[in-house]
Amino acid sequence: NWPKYLEKESYSLFQPWHNYGVSYLRITPKYKTNSLAYVPISNGCNNFCTYCVVPFTRGPLICRDHEEILREVKRAVSPIRNTISNGAREIWLLGQNVNDYTSPGNSLINFPKLLKMVNDIPGKFVIRFTSPNPKNFSDELIKVMAESKKIAKFLNLPVQSGDNEILKKMNRPYTVEQYKDLVKKIREKIPNINLSTDVIVGFPGETKKQFQNTAKLFKEMKFNIAYIAKYSPRPGTAAFKMKDDVPREEKEKRWKDLNDLILKNKNDVK
């Protein structure tokens, strides 16, 4: 019982849950809705972005065998699953960084190949996944997305910052230019795709000029949606040792500026 672990005084934020004998990837889900089924394909992360606690709280990347994933998807979309009469109409493949996926049962099966296998399962359902990392978003993955009839024409592609110096401080292994080239390639292959992103404002040391680089990127990319976070320090992370020197009021302003750009883009589309 996971809540009981949280109540223990000895519990530490930085002891991965699998230290307590909890095997998240082995839990058999019980569905409570006809429409959605969330299917984890991996847990943990090896990227160590400087602001993120996931590698500490969930541990290193552990991938689930592709056969287990396919069985769960088939069960989810089946007309009879648990107490629900209709199969799921939407499948979400979940992982901290889905395009790092490699099946432990067959090292040749990467995320694009897994995605194609899920797409080939009979049934009327839509496939979504979250979240990928721009660093290894391959041409193979773009091709599978473009050719699939079931994969939603929607992609969340986190950028986190529109400034190269801040990206480096975040330990994000790509540049703004590489991100823009990737988006261009995706939109060329999938012209009708809707694009969202994640971004952090007020990261330690972020100047007004560096923030304006992020605002400029927002204007260029014309994201449909953006998940905008105001930086807050997480104990144990590398960024926690950096001076949190952007005032809260300034973080609020930067959040509003980016949100206004998203709203403007939505109005322009209308």
For 41-73, the pLDDT digits (tens) are 999 999 999 999 999 988 899 999 999 999 999
Helix H or strand E encompassing 245: none
Report the pLDDT value the prediction gives residue 3, as an integer from 0 to 100. Answer: 44
Q: Is the pLDDT of residue 84 over 60?
A: no
Q: Is the link from the previous residue into 131 a cis peptide, with omega within 30 of 0?
A: yes
> Tokens at residue 185, please?
């390639």
Mean pLDDT value of segment 117-138? 95
Report the pLDDT value the prediction gives residue 1, as an integer from 0 to 100. Answer: 42
Q: Which domains does the chain have, with CATH numbers?
A: 18-269 (3.80.30.20)
Which of the pair, 12 or 209, is modelled with greater confidence? 209
Mean pLDDT for the chain overall: 89
| Burial of 26 from C-beta contacts in 10 A (0-12 / 13-18 / 19+) | exposed
Mean pLDDT value of segment 142-160? 97
Count of positions (residues) in the chain? 270
CA distances from 54 to 19, 83, 160, 188, 261 (A): 14, 34, 16, 33, 29
Band of the pLDDT at 29, cuts 50, 70, 90? low
Mean pLDDT value of segment 162-186? 98
Query: By the 8 A CB rule, do 263 and 206 touch?
Result: no
